[in-house]
Structure 1
Amino acid sequence: MTRRCRRLAARLPRSVAVLLGAVPLLAGTAAAHVGALGGAGTPQPVPFWLVALTGGGLVGGSFLFTSLMTDHEAIQSVNASRLGLPSAAALRRGARTGARVLGVLGLLAVLTVALFGPAAPTNAAVLVVWVGWWAGYTASTYLVGDSWPALNPWRTLADLLPARDRDLPDLGAWPATAGLLGLVWLEVVSPVASDPRFLAAVVVGYTGATLAGAAAYGEAWFDRIDPVSRVFRLYGWLAPVQRTGDGLALRLPGGTLPSRELADRSEVAFVVALLWVTTFDGLVSTPTWNDVVRPFVSVGVPAPLVYLVATLAGFGVFLGGYRLAASYARRTAATYVSAVAIERRFAPALLPIAAGYHLAHYLGYVVGLSPALAAAVTNPFASPALRAVVLPDWFGGIALALVVLAHLAAVWVAHAIAFDLFPGRLQPIRSQYPFVVVMVAYTATSMWIVSQPFARPIAV
């Protein structure tokens, strides 16, 4: 969730931590309190119409370029290419055990520091959760591989409980979708990203609900209900390191997406929700958002209610737009494949967009707050002034480039899916017309949000 990223600094994940050695050569450091860093973003200094037109044009142009590649076997060979990695069973078991211990110790450390450390936004628990885990670790799941099944401390603790293994009601992914929307709403309307005591309460509540669910339903709880596990699993589909029957293999990033098919429309809804919450978390820190919310709050409408309605309405618009594109794709392709089947098959093509926007959002955030995170981890019960790297103006261009690259990857994945789903050469290309329109529109929207100056959200 990205309100912290604009509230505490700017944007970038741990996957680019290799740049940290060079950053001090490019920018100085400044001591400041958390609140003073809210406007430390790096908006693009060129006109937005030019940025959006360029980004949308690149996405549209990439579709025209990929349309020239109509050899189904060649497309499959590109996506199926892989390199096996040497692995030993004993080494894998040892690494998994170490990850499980590390995850539980990390959870206990976060709770301890959040409860007994300084009651300030510079509390180490706050920085570890938002900078180290949600920004940095999340990026590792799509840039490297999904290690969450081994690291997940709640799964490890659940294994110690007597399992009842009841049959979980068939609700699809709707509970996980509601959980994801609820988490981003809570992050936006509460001080969970700045108040360590409140953060501890949320973690304790989440721990209780998760362990109770896992004790009742076993592994099915993490596979079908838990929104965090589902987010990391879907992001892991993008990663170059994939688990296979023979161990681990290096794949083309996103190379497995064309072969993925979601089970039903509820899973499609979760993918769309993942796309929406990342967008919404950035939207609430723009001046335009404040202009929209202020009239409602001024006449007495509770701000949390306004944010809740906006969360649900935006999700509805995103989901409705995607379903409409799938319906039109059936017409443009002139196919007997149902619109629901088209929805399920093309939904994985949205994951590169969600990951790319997450990466763009947290780029400068992790780089900017890496000194504060390092200081907090080495001395967790101290409350030093927050030291942040002041990023150069051109850094905002990296975020815009990441958004465009993510959309280009999404176009390629959709192209590969189309040629796998439809026969011939012309029908697959025609099926992509509505989805390209949606992707161009989303590119412009994402780039607009990334290029906006920071505006502190209206207090709730």
Structure 2
Amino acid sequence: MTPAGFAAHGVGGATDLPIPFIYAMVGASWALTISFAVLALAWKEPRFTSADDLETATPPPPARRPFVALIGLLLTGWVLLALYGGPDDASNGGVQAFYILVWVGLVPLALLAGHVWRDLSPWRTVAGDGIWAYPERLGYWPAAAGLFGFVWLELASSDPGSVEAVRRWVAIYAIAMLLGGLAFGQRWFDRADPFDVYSGLVAHLSPFVRNGRWGLYNPLRTLPTVPVAPGLVAVLAVLLGSTAYDSFSASPFWQSRTLTSAQHSAVLLVFCMVVGILFILAATATGGVDRSERRRLPGLLAHSLVPIVVGYVFAHYLTYLLEKGQAAFFALLDPLDRGWAPLGDPSVTYVLSEHTSTLAAIKVSCVVIGHVLAVVAAHDRALAVLPAAHRLSGQLAMLVLMVAYTFTGLYLLFSV
């Protein structure tokens, strides 16, 4: 039985009102207009990437900062103390931090501070250089599996709010990261740690940090530097498909049905697979390329999904982070449930839910901005990788797909 106070997302579902129909339609109309304008009227030669850039190795990341690594160890220890030493109900600060501050908070953290997760990761801190070389043929597939394991726990398991279930998941995750790090060194985390990989992808969209260096950067120039490896499309398909499923599962149509955990799991998997399969089909729907080049196209264009993922995460989870995140923070101040209140009587401020029109505008803006950035990124990369005779026609399927993603995202936000 689900403990009181727990629901979808493990710590209570989103409290947002549906976005008004007019906001959804205006957003979709702008997305369509800008998309076609970019494709038909924008630059005819790549501005942010070139064919030569695709063959250039990504520069090695800067050395990890020991002070930040120490902060990561302390924060991890505090959250684990709350998770394993706290109460077995909804007030457990570790569970709230796991679902809200870690999973959702990772996205704005990476946008503002770059791939700081790399410095904060306690597993990287305790891992050495490894015994063996990481098998590159595995690529990002371990991270994709880990991400699906997380979203399954959050969205499709029989009791996502179970403190014991979260404890087991975190224990398995920690053991896998420690053993993988000892075996394969730092490369393991670049490809197999679901949170590390997620943070690294979003960090490529940061306008403030590039490869560990602070400044002002054009994210359209850093986004194409996402390292391409097997499983990259699967990672992004899980992130986008699970968020879409989250909205769909909150709809009256879905809530009215009594389904088993296995059925929820199957539908979640279908959402992720459909997102990935459609992207692969759209990326390869071009002429003028041979079989080997066609196989490379989904990976070369996969970075264009990152803005859509980020935009939809903000649209769907912003109030979840800003409002339920306050409750998670207060719960962490009392990790062992001893009645500690160092900041006095905690009170959650509902900064967005009380301003529904503003919230609706933010939701639509996030989806549309993410879509437009994705179209521009895909357009620019297509100019670099497609034959000159197919640079326009080869992008049409991808444009239709991204418009479909946008309409679907807005519809799901509107329908719940």
1:430 aligns with 2:393: yes
CA contact (8 A) 1:5 1:361 kept: no
2:244 to 279, 294, 307: 279
1:45 aligns with 2:17: no
For residues 126 and 431 of structure 1, the distance between their equivalents in structure 2, rounded to whole angstroms, comes to 46
Sort the Cα spacing of 1:99 and 1:313 in 2 relative to 1 into closer, same or farther, 3 A: same
Sort the Cα spacing of 1:137 and 1:178 in 2 relative to 1 into closer, same or farther, 3 A: closer
Q: How does 1:365-380 map to 2 (within 5 A)?
A: 365-380=320-335
CA contact (8 A) 1:192 1:202 kept: no
Which residue does the alignment assign to 1:268?
233
Structure 2, unmatched stretches of 5+, are 54-61, 340-344
Q: How does 1:212-291 map to 2 (within 5 A)?
A: 212-244=179-211, 247-260=213-226, 262-264=228-230, 266-291=231-256
CA contact (8 A) 2:7 2:160 kept: no
Sort the Cα spacing of 1:446 and 1:259 in 2 relative to 1 into closer, same or farther, 3 A: same
Sort the Cα spacing of 1:198 and 1:400 in 2 relative to 1 into closer, same or farther, 3 A: same
Question: What's the offset of the Cα at 1:227?
Answer: 2.0
1:446 to 405, 409, 413: 409
Question: What's the offset of the Cα at 1:414?
Answer: 1.2
Question: What's the offset of the Cα at 1:143?
Answer: 4.1
For residues 47 and 70 of structure 2, the distance between their equivalents in structure 1, rounded to whole angstroms, comes to 44
Sort the Cα spacing of 1:385 and 1:251 in 2 relative to 1 into closer, same or farther, 3 A: closer
2:283 to 315, 326, 343: 326
Which residue does the alignment assign to 1:85?
none
- The aligned amino acid for 2:138 is L
For residues 408 and 390 of structure 2, the distance between their equivalents in structure 1, rounded to whole angstroms, comes to 29
Question: What's the offset of the Cα at 1:403?
Answer: 0.7
For residues 153 and 370 of structure 1, the distance between their equivalents in structure 2, rounded to whole angstroms, comes to 22
- The aligned amino acid for 2:268 is T
Counting matched residue pairs gives: 391
Sort the Cα spacing of 1:169 and 1:397 in 2 relative to 1 into closer, same or farther, 3 A: closer
CA contact (8 A) 1:144 1:240 kept: no
Structure 1, unmatched stretches of 5+, are 10-33, 81-91, 298-302, 454-460
Sort the Cα spacing of 1:102 and 1:340 in 2 relative to 1 into closer, same or farther, 3 A: same
Which residue does the alignment assign to 1:127?
96
Q: How does 1:58-457 map to 2 (within 5 A)?
A: 58-66=30-38, 67-72=40-45, 96-159=65-128, 163-165=130-132, 168=135, 170-190=137-157, 194-244=161-211, 247-260=213-226, 262-264=228-230, 266-291=231-256, 293-294=257-258, 297=259, 303-328=260-285, 330-331=286-287, 334-335=288-289, 338-382=293-337, 387=348, 389=350, 390-394=353-357, 395-422=359-386, 424=388, 427-453=390-416
Question: What's the offset of the Cα at 1:59?
Answer: 2.1
CA contact (8 A) 1:176 1:225 kept: yes
Sort the Cα spacing of 1:143 and 1:42 in 2 relative to 1 into closer, same or farther, 3 A: farther
Which residue does the alignment assign to 1:86?
none
1:160-184 CA distance string (max 9 Å, x none): xx94336547323223222221221
1:45-84 CA distance string (max 9 Å, x none): 33xxx5554333322211232231225265669xx9xxxx
For residues 242 and 37 of structure 2, the distance between their equivalents in structure 1, rounded to whole angstroms, comes to 31
CA contact (8 A) 2:68 2:120 kept: yes
1:65-105 CA distance string (max 9 Å, x none): 2231225265669xx9xxxxxxxxxxx97x82121111111
For residues 231 and 56 of structure 1, the distance between their equivalents in structure 2, rounded to whole angstroms, comes to 27
Sort the Cα spacing of 1:97 and 1:289 in 2 relative to 1 into closer, same or farther, 3 A: same
1:1-30 CA distance string (max 9 Å, x none): xxx998479xxxxxxxxxxxxxxxxxxxxx
Question: What's the offset of the Cα at 1:447?
Answer: 1.0
Deviates more, 1:357-366 or 1:276-285: 276-285
Equivalent position SS for 2:305: helix
Sort the Cα spacing of 1:319 and 1:375 in 2 relative to 1 into closer, same or farther, 3 A: closer
Equivalent position SS for 1:135: coil
CA contact (8 A) 1:368 1:391 kept: no
Sort the Cα spacing of 1:336 and 1:68 in 2 relative to 1 into closer, same or farther, 3 A: farther
For residues 167 and 316 of structure 1, the distance between their equivalents in structure 2, rounded to whole angstroms, comes to 26
1:305-363 CA distance string (max 9 Å, x none): 112211222222222211221232x13xx555832232222111111001111111221
CA contact (8 A) 2:8 2:155 kept: no
Sort the Cα spacing of 1:176 and 1:111 in 2 relative to 1 into closer, same or farther, 3 A: same
Identity %: 29
- The aligned amino acid for 1:57 is S
Sort the Cα spacing of 1:377 and 1:308 in 2 relative to 1 into closer, same or farther, 3 A: closer
- The aligned amino acid for 2:264 is Y
For residues 343 and 168 of structure 1, the distance between their equivalents in structure 2, rounded to whole angstroms, comes to 21
Q: TM-score, normalised to structure 2's length?
A: 0.83
Sort the Cα spacing of 1:119 and 1:269 in 2 relative to 1 into closer, same or farther, 3 A: closer
Equivalent position SS for 1:121: coil
For residues 402 and 355 of structure 1, the distance between their equivalents in structure 2, rounded to whole angstroms, comes to 8
CA contact (8 A) 2:24 2:414 kept: no
For residues 113 and 360 of structure 2, the distance between their equivalents in structure 1, rounded to whole angstroms, comes to 24
CA contact (8 A) 1:415 1:429 kept: no
- The aligned amino acid for 1:267 is L
For residues 360 and 98 of structure 2, the distance between their equivalents in structure 1, rounded to whole angstroms, comes to 24
For residues 8 and 340 of structure 1, the distance between their equivalents in structure 2, rounded to whole angstroms, comes to 36
CA contact (8 A) 1:184 1:281 kept: no
- The aligned amino acid for 1:176 is A
CA contact (8 A) 2:237 2:273 kept: no
